[in-house]
């Protein structure tokens, strides 16, 4: 793309030198990746400021620097008020505005985003569509998968990803949309057709400061659906049973479809029954009813299925196809995932890392547990400290034995994190112990497990690493649990 064409996406900006006829090789925000012919954008991060590396970018061959303040470089530069916004605009233009042609569903909320995206993936596959997913576990384009650093990547990665989807013939895309991404404008340029809200419970208060700010960030997805009504309707899919529903409904001018178990919801679950093997319920919708028999465990997964069903209905998918899609999925990585090699007790690995999600998982287990529930759980470092004591209280309230351990300590002392968890526990509570080393904690829980007990390993789910002092070390709860079971069974 010629620079003149690219800069047309940024009206009323002027370059310090006339180089508009030059060809742009790529956009870059990491000076180490810059090559001759690239445009480098100086992005202010939480710990690093790209303006400090503009000189290095120029040395590596950047032909243009876009910055929020004048930088001392020997190449042309353009000043803008917000480089993150400029990045989204330019990335959209550079990659050909891919979401203008790919139907896109955005899913936001504290819990359930990943499961809903994979439920929708299953439904659209049943509807003979080529699908793409961007989210916590990975990016998936058709049958190919790619690792991601964040649940919702920056605008440059996003637009490149959607461009890859466009070239691969993807007919339906699903994306988990985090509150961080919305607050930072990473999704600018993404043309959502459907926005889904799951729920709002305590999380990320280290970033958003309070629940009102957290909700405000989530609400941006719905306001960004736009106000126009065209040939293809846009929909906001809202969990009617969540207290935030009314606020989010007010944030959008687009069509609303609600879901939940209450009578006010348009897409409802009736006559639901939960077992250790899954859930059965009547799916009632504006276009008819059907019975769903799912392998997914827990009432929270009924809500996830309702959300997926509502989004699929809004996309024009038939109820017959929706039923097939919901019933054909057997699970999602790290979401109530069983680790079973024939042992007489159950081991479940789940991503639950908020007080509400841990409570949901443990209350679900209580409904089918025949004996004791043992939980291994920690809290992440450099994250919301206020939820730590709440997580510990949930663990001791809903499990027979709790083992508090390290999660991803990042730059914090693991023992200090655990002390934050336990500091408010009643001194009379004695059914917990502290084992800082996560591997040792998992082994201990499995050693303690007797016949028909259930061991829940919570917090990391699908993750195959542990982050300590800026480094990611190989660590998979499922692998460690399997090793521990084998040792126990062979003793």
* Per-residue model confidence as pLDDT tens digits over 197-215: 999 875 545 554 667 787 8
Residue 289: in which H helix or E strand, if any?
A: strand 288-294
| Nearest alpha-carbon partner for 196 in 122, 129, 107, 320 | 107
Which CATH topology does 98-328 take?
A: 3.40.1190
Q: What percent of the chain is modeled with pLDDT above 70?
A: 98
* Contacts (Cβ under 8 Å, ≥6 apart) of 256: 235, 236, 238, 249
Find the mean pLDDT for residues 159-173: 97
Predicted pLDDT of residue 17: 67
Phi then psi for residue 66, to 5 deg, are -110, 125
Q: Quick check: 263 and 282 in contact, CB under 8 A?
A: no
* Per-residue model confidence as pLDDT tens digits over 394-437: 999 999 999 999 999 999 999 999 999 999 998 878 999 999 99
Find the mean pLDDT for residues 236-253: 93
Top-confidence residue, 151 or 55: 55
CA 460 from chain center: how many Å?
13
Find the mean pLDDT for residues 159-164: 96
| Nearest alpha-carbon partner for 67 in 53, 56, 59 | 53
Q: How many CB atoms lie within 10 A of CB 121?
A: 22
* Per-residue model confidence as pLDDT tens digits over 52-74: 999 999 999 999 999 999 999 99
Residue 20 CA to residue 4 CA, distance in Å, equals: 4
Class of domain 337-490: alpha beta
Q: How many CB atoms lie within 10 A of CB 286?
A: 9
Paired sense of beta strands 465-468 and 471-474, if any: antiparallel
Paired sense of beta strands 104-108 and 172-176, if any: parallel
Top-confidence residue, 148 or 441: 441
SS3 category, 154: coil
User: Is the model's pLDDT at 164 over the cut of 70?
Assistant: yes
User: Is the model's pLDDT at 230 over the cut of 90?
Assistant: no
CATH code of domain 3-94: 3.40.1390.10
Q: Write down the domain spans for the chain.
A: 3-94, 98-328, 337-490
Predicted pLDDT of residue 200: 86
Tokens of 274: 């939960």
Strands (E), 276-378: 278-285, 288-294, 337-338, 346-350, 373-377
Single pTM value for the model:
0.83
């Amino acid at each position: 793309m010629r620079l003149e064409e690219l800069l047309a996406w940024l009206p009323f900006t002027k370059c310090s030198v006339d180089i508009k006829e030059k060809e742009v090789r790529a956009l870059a925000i990491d000076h180490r990746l810059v090559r001759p012919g690239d445009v480098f954008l100086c992005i202010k991060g939480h710990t690093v400021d790209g303006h400090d590396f503009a000189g290095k970018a120029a040395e590596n061959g950047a032909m243009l620097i876009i910055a929020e303040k004048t930088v001392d470089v020997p190449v042309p530069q353009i000043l803008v008020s917000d480089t993150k916004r400029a990045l989204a605009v330019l990335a959209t233009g550079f990659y050909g505005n891919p979401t203008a042609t790919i139907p896109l569903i955005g899913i936001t909320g504290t819990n359930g985003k990943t499961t809903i995206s994979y439920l929708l993936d299953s439904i659209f596959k049943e509807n003979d569509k080529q699908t793409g997913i961007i989210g916590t576990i990975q990016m998936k384009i058709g049958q190919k998968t790619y690792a991601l650093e964040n649940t919702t990547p920056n605008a440059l990665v996003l637009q490149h990803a959607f461009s890859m989807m466009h070239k691969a013939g993807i007919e339906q895309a699903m994306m988990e949309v985090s509150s961080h991404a919305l607050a930072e404008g990473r999704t600018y340029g993404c043309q959502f057709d459907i926005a889904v809200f799951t729920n709002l419970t305590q999380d990320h208060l280290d970033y958003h400061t309070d629940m009102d700010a957290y909700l405000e960030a989530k609400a941006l997805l719905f306001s960004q659906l736009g106000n126009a009504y065209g040939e293809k309707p846009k929909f906001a899919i809202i969990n009617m049973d969540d207290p935030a529903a009314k606020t989010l409904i007010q944030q959008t001018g687009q069509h609303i479809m609600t879901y939940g178990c209450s009578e006010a919801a348009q897409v409802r679950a009736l006559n639901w029954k939960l077992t250790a093997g899954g859930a059965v319920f009547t799916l009632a919708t504006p276009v008819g009813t059907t019975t769903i028999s799912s392998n997914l465990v827990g009432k929270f997964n009924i809500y996830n299925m309702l959300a997926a069903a509502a989004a699929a209905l809004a996309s024009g998918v038939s109820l017959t196809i929706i039923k097939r899609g919901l019933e054909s999925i057997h699970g999602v990585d790290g979401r109530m995932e069983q680790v079973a090699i024939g042992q007489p007790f159950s081991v479940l690995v789940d991503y639950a890392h908020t007080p509400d999600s841990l409570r949901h998982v443990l209350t679900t287990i209580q409904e089918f547990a025949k004996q004791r529930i043992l939980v291994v759980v920690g809290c992440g470092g450099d994250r919301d400290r206020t939820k730590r004591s709440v997580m510990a209280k949930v663990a001791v309230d809903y499990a027979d034995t709790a083992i508090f351990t390290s999660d991803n300590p990042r730059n914090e002392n693991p023992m200090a994190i655990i002390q934050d968890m336990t500091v408010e526990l009643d001194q009379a509570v004695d059914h917990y112990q502290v084992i800082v080393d996560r591997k040792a904690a998992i082994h201990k829980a499995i050693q303690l497990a007797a016949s028909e007990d259930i061991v829940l390993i919570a917090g990391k789910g699908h993750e195959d690493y542990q982050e300590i002092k800026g480094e990611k070390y190989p660590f998979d709860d499922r692998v460690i649990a399997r090793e521990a079971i084998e040792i126990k069974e062979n003793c």
